[in-house]
Chains A and B, each alone.
Chain A
Amino acid sequence: MSDTANVEQRRTAGRSVPPTRALALTYRVVLRQLASRGRIIALTALALVSTVAGFALGQTDADLEAGVRLVSGLGFAVIIPVVSLVFGGAAIGDLREDKTLVYLWLRPMDRWPLVVGAFLAALTLTTPITLIPVVAAAVLAGSGGGLVAATVIAGLVAVIAYCAVFTLLGVALRRFIVWGLAYVLIWEGFIALGGAGVARFAIRKYTRSIIVDRTGVDLDLADFSQMTGIIVPLLAGVVALALASWRLARQDID
C-alpha cells in the first residue's frame, strides 16, 4: 500500500470524523439494515388493522368519542408503540446482536451521532408505516377534522418519543423486545392505568392528553395540557438519546 492514493489516506489517518458525516453514515447503514422486506410488510399489515377498523367505524353512526377511542385504543396503545419498538430497538440492538456494531463503534467518531443516526433511521421507517394508516383511520372514522389534526400531532410526538426510548432500550438491553413489550403492554396498558402518579411515566398519557385537548372528548388519565403533552415526551426522547449515547460509549462491544 504505497501508491499515491494511500499516501493521501495516511494524511487522513488519525483524523476524527465530523459528527454530521458520522450521523449520515450511521443513518444510511442502519436504514438499510432495518428495511427488510418481511419486517416492513408485517408491520404495515399490523398498522393497516387500524385503517380497516376506522373504515368499519365510518360505516356506522359512531360519534366523535367512538373515533377518539378507536385511534387512542388501537393506534396509540398498540400500533405506534409496537412498530416503534421493532424499529427503534433494532436500530442499534440488531447491530449489537449480529456483531456488526464494531464496524461503526471502532471508528474515530463520537458516540452521539451513532445513536442519533440510528434513531433517525428508525423514525424514517416508523413514521410512514404507523402514521399514514392511523391518520387514515381517523379520517375514515368520519369523526371530524379535530380528530385528524389531533392524531397527526399526537402521532408525531408518539413516534419520536417511542423511537428514542426504544433506541435506548436497544443499546442497553439484549432482550429489548421483551422489555419493550413489557413496557407497552404491562406498564402503559395496565399499571399506568392504576393512577395519575405512575401514569406520568407513560408516554401514552401525554399523547392521549393531546387528543383530549384538541377534541374535547373525555378519556381517563389524559389531563395534561396540549403543550405539556407535546413537550414532556419530546424531552423524554432527548434524555433517552443522551443516555443511549452515554451508555454506548461505556459498554462492551463484541
Chain B
Amino acid sequence: MTGLPPPEIATLPAPAPGPEPRGMISVNEVSKFFGSVVAVSDVSFAITAGVTALLGPNGAGKSTLFRMMCGLTPPSRGAVQVLGADPRTDRAVRGRLSLVPQQDALFDHLDALQMVTVSARGHGVNDPTAAAVTALAHVELGDVGSKPVGQFSKGMRQRVKVACALVNDPEVLILDEPLTGLDPVQRRNMIALFHRLGDEGRCVLVSSHVLDEVARLGSRLLVIAQGRLIASGDYHDLRGLMDDRPLRIRIGTSDPRRLASALVDQDLITALSLDATHVVVDTNDADAIGRRLAPLARDLNIRLTEVHPLDDDLESVFRYLVEGR
C-alpha cells in the first residue's frame, strides 16, 4: 500500500500480437482504496493457463490484488473475474480456485494430515483423507507424522499451506510469496511443482519480491509497484531492460587509480569515485565492463579482488522502471 503519487508507467515490449486472450483470471481497471490510501490503482491484465509471476517490492499491492482475485475483499473500482465468475459472490468458483496466503497462519493444534483434510472437507472433496495424503506427498510431507503444525519449521508450514491449496485440484492457484522460508532444495522442488501444475493447464499465479525467484518461476511476468502495474510481458525482456540500464559497480583492486584511468580512457564508464582499495563506477554498458575488465587488469598487471554490482536488486529495477533512473 502506498500514498505516493502515481508513477510513470514504463512497460516492457508488448507480447507477440495475437487474439485477445480470454483470461482464467481477468482484472479489469481495478483499484482498491483503504480510506485515502491507494493500495491498487487502475490495474488491468488477463492471465491464462501456465505459470505467471507477480513481481513487486513489499507494500506494492500484490497481496491486496491477490485478495481481490480470491474475493476476500471487493475492488473499490473495476471488476475481477476468475473462471468467468466473481469470486466474491460466486460460491461455486471458490471450489475451483485456491490461495496460499502470505500470512503464516495455520490451525496450529492440528497435524499436517488433519490440517489438509480440513481444507479438503471445506472443498467438499469426496475422499478428503486420500486427497490430503496425495497433496502432502506433492509437497514432500508424506511422512511427517502426527506432530502439530504449530511445531513445524517455517518451510514445513509453507509446504502445508501449499498442500492445503492443492487438495481440491484447483484450476486456478494463487500463491502469495510461497517460497518464503524454504531452503534452496525445497525452492527448486516447489518451483518444479508449479511448472508441472501450469503444464497441466492450470493457471498458477505466484508473487514474489525476489528477482532471482522470479527468474526461475517462469517467463510470464507482471510487475507491480506503488499499486500500479508498471510492466508486463516476458521475463527475459525485463532482464534485458535491466542489463541495458545504468549500473553502479564496485571494483576491488590493488591499484584503483590506474584501473580508473584505464576505464575512463576506454570510455566504459560515465562516473567514478575512488578509495584506497576500490573503484566505484557508473556505466551504461555493464556487459562491456564484464567482458573487458579482466583483460584490462591483466594488461595493467593489477589484481582484482571484487566486482560487485551495487544496484542489481529489485528496488533499483523498480526505481528504473518507475522513475527512469
Contact = CB atoms under 8 A, between A and B. Distances in A.
Given A15-B92, A106-B99, A5 B72 contact: no
B310 interface: no
Nearest to B103: A99
A8 B120 CA distance: 13
B72 A1 contact: no
A137 B93 CA distance: 53
Interface string B83-105: 00000000111111001010101
Contacts of B93: 14, 108
Contacts of A100: 105-107
Interface residues of B, number: 41
Nearest to B123: A107
Nearest to B167: A9
Interface residues of A, number: 37
Nearest to A105: B72
Which of A3, A103, A109 has the largest count of B CB atoms less than 10 A from its CB? A103
Interface string B182-213: 00000000000000010010000000000000
B107 A8 contact: no
A25 B91 contact: no
A60 interface: no
Contacts of B171: 13
Nearest to B202: A1
Interface string A1-23: 11101101111111111100110
A99 B10 CA distance: 36
A132 to B, nearest CB: 25
Contact of A9 (B103, B164, B168, B197): B168
A1 B118 CA distance: 19
Interface in A20-42: 21-22, 25, 29, 32-33
A6 B134 contact: yes
B95 A16 contact: yes
A231 interface: no
Which of B70, B71, B122, B197 has the largest count of A CB atoms less than 10 A from its CB? B122
Interface string A41-82: 000000000000000000000000000000000000000000
Nearest to A32: B109
Contact of B95 (A2, A14, A253): A14
A107 B107 contact: no
Given A5-B130, A9-B131, A108 B169 contact: no
Contacts of B131: 5-6, 9
A17 B107 contact: no
B101 A102 contact: yes
A110 interface: yes
A104 B168 contact: no
Nearest to B161: A103
A12 B123 contact: yes
Interface of B: 67, 70-73, 91-96, 99, 101, 103, 105-107, 109-110, 118-119, 121-127, 130-131, 134, 138, 164, 166-171, 197, 200
Given A9-B125, A22-B122, A108-B124, 10 more contacts: A1-B134, A10-B169, A12-B124, A12-B125, A21-B124, A98-B105, A103-B119, A108-B123, A109-B91, A252-B67
Give 6 closest A-B pairs by Cβ, nearest first. A108-B95, A107-B122, A99-B105, A17-B124, A9-B169, A252-B73
